[in-house]
A = this chain, B = another copy of it.
Amino acid sequence: MIIVMKKDVTQKEIDYVVKRIEKLGLKAMISKGVERTIIGVIGPEDRISMQPLEAFPGVEKVMPILAPYKLVSKEFKPEKTVIDLGKGVKIGAQEIIIMAGPCAIESYDQLFKTAKAVKEAGAQVLRGGAYKPRTSPYSFQGLGEEGLKILKEVAEQLNMPTVTEVMDTRDVEKVLKYTDILQIGARNMQNFSLLKEVGQTQKPVLLKRGMSATIKEWLMAAEYIAVGGNMNIILCERGIRTFEDFTRNTLDLSAVAAVRLLSHLPVIVDPSHGTGKYDLVPDMSLAAVACGADGLIIEVHPAPHEALSDGPQSLVPEKFKELTKKIKRVAEAVGRKF
């Protein structure tokens, strides 16, 4: 931690800062330059980071040296984390994992038909929402537990692990029984109660990046889960909010490359929400694999024009099948398998 003092700082103000630093068992190192006095803090940075240093008299700014996340960082654990998703599927290793299925579970038939198609095309994990976060209270909100039952049934028949979203701390226990991966949606990335709750389980958690979350905040959200004891975290880039409105969001693929430098956690990409347009999904899926994503989560619907949610960004099964063939080629070009 580096503390930059104001130009007109007084000795008394410097002494106060030093006293506070030393009270925490840390060492202060003062450097008086021509323009500014700077105080370096030697010792574990987390002890000082909770202090409201910028509110101290005479302080101009505070510059942390270390990243605020620990357990999820590559410094803490240099080797990549591989997570067992059940039914023989592992993420974080050489194989590209594709999670596919409809945005919302609408019926047994709809889910089974989609699941069968995506499995045949190579998808290893089945996605499907039972609790849907919708911008409008007048939109379809999902089938709830009924949907979870359908998900479990279809998954067992086809022997696929599943991922589904949990939105409410009160539902965690229930959702746990029906799925293999708990999804935390973008809107809940900083729902800290929910993060703590899933951190108490050992289920794999798919943590979507918040619409306006920095990479640092995203990793801090993962840290909330990790600190509870659950290290089975899969990060998911799904687009951030920018001024561009041709796409629903701006898919930030650099974040995938960045996360691979900063963290040991596997990271996947959601090109469906990331673009909001089915005709951009294939290109962005290939780009995601090319830049090192460990997997993809893609919305597929047998009849997007009848979908109760997110039709405009869903692929039909045939397009999805075409896409998986291309994914295989790109995956192999960058030394991965599919």
Q: Point out residues on A near B: beta carbons under 8 Å.
A: 2, 4, 7, 29, 31, 33-36, 38, 40, 42-46, 49-50, 52-57, 63, 65-66, 68, 75, 133-141, 167-170, 187-188, 190-193, 196, 210-212, 214-217, 220, 223-224, 227, 240-247, 250-258, 260-261, 274-275, 278-280, 283-284, 286-292, 304-312, 314, 326, 329-330, 332-334
Q: With A75-B7, A220-B135 as given contacts, are A311 and B55 in contact (CB-CB < 8 Å)?
A: yes
A191, closest chain B residue (CB):
B191
Of A224, A258, A288, A332, which is in contact with the most chain B CB atoms at under 10 Å from its CB? A258
- Determine if B333 and A57 form an interchain contact, defined as CB atoms under 8 angstroms apart: no
Closest 3 CB pairs of A and B: A52-B311, A212-B212, A55-B311
- Determine if A211 and B212 form an interchain contact, defined as CB atoms under 8 angstroms apart: yes
Give complex CA distance A275, B196 in Å. Answer: 29
Q: With A242-B243, A247-B254, A253-B251 as given contacts, are A290 and B136 in contact (CB-CB < 8 Å)?
A: no
A239, closest chain B residue (CB):
B254
- Determine if A257 and B244 form an interchain contact, defined as CB atoms under 8 angstroms apart: no
Give complex CA distance A38, B64 in Å. Answer: 12
- CB of A13 to closest CB in B, whole Å: 10
Q: When the two chains form the complex, which single residue of B31, B65, B133, B334 contacts A42, counting CB atoms closer than 8 Å?
A: B31
Of A256, A292, A334, which is in contact with the most chain B CB atoms at under 10 Å from its CB? A334
Give complex CA distance A6, B31 in Å. Answer: 22
Of A2, A36, A288, A314, which is in contact with the most chain B CB atoms at under 10 Å from its CB? A2
Q: With A43-B34, A66-B36 as given contacts, are A306 and B247 in contact (CB-CB < 8 Å)?
A: no
- Determine if A138 and B50 form an interchain contact, defined as CB atoms under 8 angstroms apart: yes
- Extra 14 A-B pairs, beta carbons < 8 Å, given A55-B304, A260-B283, A289-B290: A2-B38, A33-B65, A46-B138, A50-B308, A52-B309, A52-B310, A68-B136, A135-B217, A167-B192, A211-B212, A215-B246, A250-B252, A250-B254, A254-B284
- Determine if A44 and B54 form an interchain contact, defined as CB atoms under 8 angstroms apart: no
- Determine if B192 and A191 form an interchain contact, defined as CB atoms under 8 angstroms apart: no
Q: With A52-B311, A65-B38, A312-B54 as given contacts, are A245 and B287 in contact (CB-CB < 8 Å)?
A: no
- CB of A7 to closest CB in B, whole Å: 6
Chain B residue contacts of A55, Cβ below 8 A: 278, 304-305, 307, 311-312, 314
Q: When the two chains form the complex, which single residue of B188, B306, B333 contacts A332, counting CB atoms closer than 8 Å?
A: B333
Chain B residue contacts of A214, Cβ below 8 A: 243-246
Of A35, A53, A190, A256, which is in contact with the most chain B CB atoms at under 10 Å from its CB? A190
- Determine if B240 and A258 form an interchain contact, defined as CB atoms under 8 angstroms apart: no
Chain B residue contacts of A43, Cβ below 8 A: 33-34
Q: When the two chains form the complex, which single residue of B35, B42, B53, B278 contacts A66, counting CB atoms closer than 8 Å?
A: B35
- CB of A309 to closest CB in B, whole Å: 8
